[in-house]
Every structure is written in structure tokens, then in C-alpha cells.
Structure 1
Amino acid sequence: MPIDTYEQTVLDKRRQISIYTPASYQRSAKRYPVLYMHDGQNVFDDDRAFYGRSWRAAEAAERADVIIVAVDCNTEGTGRLDDYSVWELQADVKQKLALDPSRSAGDRGKAYIRYLMEELKPEMVRKWRTDPDRIGMAGSSAGGNCT
């Protein structure tokens, strides 16, 4: 399974980014659609997945003939919620999540999406044969908020 990994600073935090290319990538000169996936640690590798079982996205990507770019989440404190929320979390939500009500939480989702589209996507277009007009985003739970 051809997966390239490297670290990059995303919203002031170092994170692993994993890029999966289908087998046909080596045999073709075509440009491929790209699926950007949040919670990248869960996407390919059981050993890195939060619950010990990955989403096994490579198998699906192979059938769909698509490149997957998986960005690990911010695991510091409420970083994941901050990055995947496009709004400030309200006091009742903070209470349900046992968060300090005086602490800002959420509202970095717009910056995270801006990073994906204005920094990471152009980098992928430069380094890989991607089709910049055929992209999608996927995530689960809080990661589904910013798709």
C-alpha cells in the first residue's frame, strides 16, 4: 500500500500527513481526484487508530481510483474540537463536554479549512498528479463538522 507520510505545521501544531496513491498512479499519467480526510490517524493504520481499528480507506480508494490525503487531528486538550468547529462552542455544550466555560473552544474550523484549501491543496497539486477541480472532504464525528 503506497502511503507517503511527513510532518507539517497545521495551525501551530506539528501533525502527520499521509498520502495514499492507488496502484494505477505508477502506471498512469492522468490526474487523480483527491479526498482530504480529517482524523488522519484513523484512516489507514490500525496501530495508530484511536480505537485500534482504522477506517481501511486505502481499500476503498483503490476501487475508486482516488488519492487520499489524511491529516492527523490536534490531540492537545480541546484542539480537535477547536479545529473541527466553525463556531465558538456555547456554554451548555462546554458544560456537557466538561470544559471550562470561561475558556474559548471551537471557532478554528474556518482557519483549518483555509489551511486545507489555501496551503495543503496547492502543495498536493504541485507534488502529485491531482485534479484540483475534483476534491472532496470526509470525516466522522467532530471531523464531519468541517466537511
Structure 2
Amino acid sequence: MFALDPRLQQDTQLVGDFPLCSLLLMNESRYPWFILVPRRAEVSELFQLDGEDQQQLWRETTALAETLKDAFSADKMNVATLGNVVGQLHMHVIVRRREDAAWPAPVWGKFAPEPYSAEQVEAIRSRLGLVLGNDFRFAEE
């Protein structure tokens, strides 16, 4: 049975669900930083997903990255699976801009997190609601 890693649960807000992945918003307002988590139990590596799920993860990742690049005027999209601290398979999709606080360095570990306000989260949800496809379901608020 799928369960979200407690560290991801603590550090993020659920935005909604694609067919395979839950979409989370990292609670760090300096960067539009999203995380896709395949809803599959005990998966820590891409190769542990079956072929169909691997393709679906890639479709969801690329669709999200393209949407975010346009919606947030990104200079560069950072897309990666790392998982050295959180073992559960998750894909980071981060909007980077040349003027962001950490540019060009990685976003993690640079500063103490600066959490989003409820208004900022709602603004992000509204922006995404205009561009995400029919396959996406927003989480109940």
C-alpha cells in the first residue's frame, strides 16, 4: 500500500494528482519547486517501476516541466531524482531564474526554508489550474 514518506509530507503541500503521481509543492517560497511522487509502494529507484509506469512518470514530468517553464517564466528547469535523504522515489521539478536567491547553485541546503503563505499557495494553484490538463485532479482544500 502506498504511503507518502513522512519527510515529504512534512516539507510539502499536496497540490493534486496525475494518473500516476501525486504533485507536491515544496514549502520554500524562493523557488517554484514541485515534487512528483509515483503512488507505488516501496519504490526507491526508477528501474523498480514497470515499463508502463516509467513512461507515465516521464510523460507527467515533462508535461509538468513544460507547464511550469511557461507559467513561471523559467530561465532553466531543474529536473532530477536524488533521494539520498528521502528514499521514496520522487522527481524534483524546479523553476530556476537567473535572479533567484541561489542561482546558479542548487536550491537545497542554501538557506533556511521560507514557507509560503496561504495566499501564495492559492495563487500557484490558480495559475496551474489554468494550464494543467484534464488528467490532473486538484487536491481537496
Larger helix proportion of the pair: 1
Specify the structure having the higher radius of gyration (Cα): 1
